[in-house]
A and B are shown apart, each in its own frame.
Chain A
Amino acid sequence: MLTRIGALTAVLAMLAPWPCEAQGKGGNVQATLVAAGDAVIPGERLDMGVRLRMRPGWHVYWKNPGDSGLPPTVSWKLPQGFRAGVIEWPAPTRFLDEGLVTYGYHDEVILPVQIQTPTYIAGDSVAIAARVDWLECKDICVPGSATLRLDVPVRAERRLGRASTRVIEKARSELPDTAGWFLEGGAGPRAISLWFIPARHNKPRSAYFYADEPLLVDYAAPQGFERVGQLWRVTMKPAPNADRNLDRLTGVLVINGNGGTHSVQVDVPLRASDSGPAPPQPLLPRRTPPSAAYVAILAGLAIVLALSVPRIIRRRTHHN
């Protein structure tokens, strides 16, 4: 009896391998589709990622590749009613090559994408497919592409305790912050400045700004980094043919400090100021509007307090 159950389990395991990863190959980069969890739940968001694993020395590019290169693109083929979001780009690193500077990733990168699913899904399994194109470069560049497919079961609930879930969660947790930092931009003929205070307690030892707008920053020019009072400042040399009408600074700021590496999405107006004084120093980092969850917790606390305070008072009166 026991052996029969054992055999049955083995057969079931073979029949249901939960194929949450699909393989595709470029010459020096291996592309894989990764999904968080082992199932699609109708109406719930599905966290996906495109994993690119590179041979040593090879790299792929960020959304703004810098002096040369090309960012990866993902074109999804999804079941009816499914909708893929955009790539949420992790903070890049930079590559120096004969005086040219490019932005991208080496060894391995997960490009997270969120997929909205419809409230009704026909069938008990869906095929999530994507064509991924990239440029892989070392001393030379080669275009790579892969057509990937992942068959995911449709269920009412999802088990998250999978390696692929941890891969996606880790990648998402490392995405640049979207709030909580003090950020202010200034532009002059000689330098573009970004003043900042990190959101978390992390005293920066170095900082680098990755501009995502083309023709704004000279990628190859070293960036300045200094402390100005309570603020830190990164200075960049404008691109030689920079568009003088650019009025916003957008990109990702990456700092390295005693608290590790942190990054933040930057999208700030470019005020007309160069190496002049720092902007008025704030006493506290700029507050961002509280999130819905934060408001809900506060409201919950208020209700609990409102309910328990009269009881405490009543108890006290009893003692008296």
Chain B
Amino acid sequence: MKRMAWLASLLLLVAPVSLAHAAAIVGQRAPSFELRDADGKAVKLDSFRGKYVVLEWTNFGCPFVGKQYGSGNMQSLQKKYTEKGVVWLTICSSAKGKQGYLDGAGAKASMKEHDAAPSRFLLDPKGSVGKSYGAKTTPHMFVIDPKGTLVYNGAIDDKPSTNKDDVPTAKNYVAAALDESMAGEKIATSATQPYGCSVKY
């Protein structure tokens, strides 16, 4: 009986670890998903085949997200690239009761407050899509090419900090990946270690 209890507690310890083991691998097909957006409409990744897709994990309570939105950098990237036909999906995987959790109405209010301009704001409160991509931080950025292949996975830029003043001098990996890929060039940096707050699964 004691052994059973011990085994059960061991399983409980191991189970949450194994959930985060899925990951999106650069050069492979990006994992498919379907999520509800802030308006409650279903959004399927596969419906954007033929277009570049950016996935941005967010949590508006996180200071690293605050750095990007407070400096206006994230909004201007969203505007610049959606104007070029890129589909920009901002995803919130914060669980209910945890920092950054948003329902549809909350997501719309937050987008308005931050003047955010993604194509869609997707809600992933169960964290299943976040875990299938191995999304670790906010922000954590992914770029998918028109064929559905993941071409970038990692940090937003090369200056890990919460300081807004670092934004102008940072090399933005997402912009670089999109620009290089759209120009038919090889993406110089296709995987980096993301930095930020942990995703609040």
Interfacial residues, chain A to chain B (CB-CB below 8 A): 65, 67-70, 96-100, 102, 133, 135, 137, 139-143, 214-215, 218, 220-222, 240-241, 243
Contacts and interface: CB of A to CB of B under 8 A. Distances in A.
A70 B162 contact: yes
Given A99-B20, A100-B20, A220-B17, A68 B195 contact: yes
B26 interface: yes
Interface of B: 14, 16-21, 23-26, 61-64, 98-99, 131, 134, 136-137, 153-154, 160-163, 190-201
A140 B21 contact: no
B99 A140 contact: yes
Given A68-B197, A68-B198, A140-B61, A241 B153 contact: yes
A163 B100 CA distance: 43
A243 B154 CA distance: 13
A98 B20 contact: yes
A68 B140 CA distance: 10
17 contacts: A68-B194, A70-B161, A98-B198, A99-B20, A99-B201, A100-B199, A102-B198, A137-B197, A140-B197, A141-B62, A141-B197, A214-B192, A215-B191, A220-B20, A220-B21, A222-B14, A222-B17
Contacts of A243: 191
Contact of A70 (B16, B19, B134, B195): B195
Contacts of B195: 65, 68-70
Given A68-B136, A69-B198, A133-B163, 8 more contacts: A67-B198, A68-B197, A70-B160, A99-B18, A99-B131, A139-B200, A215-B192, A241-B23
Given A98-B20, A99-B16, A139-B98, A240 B25 contact: yes
A139 B99 contact: yes
Contacts of A96: 17
Nearest to A64: B193
Contacts of A98: 16, 20, 198-201
Nearest to B194: A68
A319 B137 CA distance: 84
Nearest to B152: A241
A243 B72 CA distance: 32
Nearest to A102: B198
Nearest to B16: A99
Given A99-B131, A135-B162, A215-B191, A240 B201 contact: no
A218 B136 CA distance: 12
Given A67-B136, A70-B161, A214-B192, A99 B197 contact: no
Query: Which interface residue of B17, B18, B153 has the most chain A CB atoms within 10 A?
Result: B17
A96 B98 CA distance: 16
A252 B196 CA distance: 23
A58 to B, nearest CB: 14
Contacts of B199: 68, 98, 100
Most A C-beta atoms less than 10 A away, residue of B21, B25, B64, B193: B193
Given A99-B20, A140-B99, A241-B23, A68 B191 contact: no
Contacts of B136: 67-68, 100
B171 to A, nearest CB: 15
A241 B25 contact: yes
Contacts of B201: 98-99
A99 B19 contact: yes
B11 to A, nearest CB: 13
A241 B189 CA distance: 12
The 4 closest A-B pairs by CB, nearest first: A99-B20, A214-B193, A240-B23, A241-B191
A141 B153 contact: no
A215 B193 contact: yes
A70 to B, nearest CB: 6
Contacts of A141: 62-64, 197-198
Contacts of B63: 135, 141-143
B9 to A, nearest CB: 14
Contacts of B154: 241
Nearest to A241: B191
A102 B136 CA distance: 11
Contacts of B98: 139
Contacts of B23: 240-241
Nearest to A240: B23
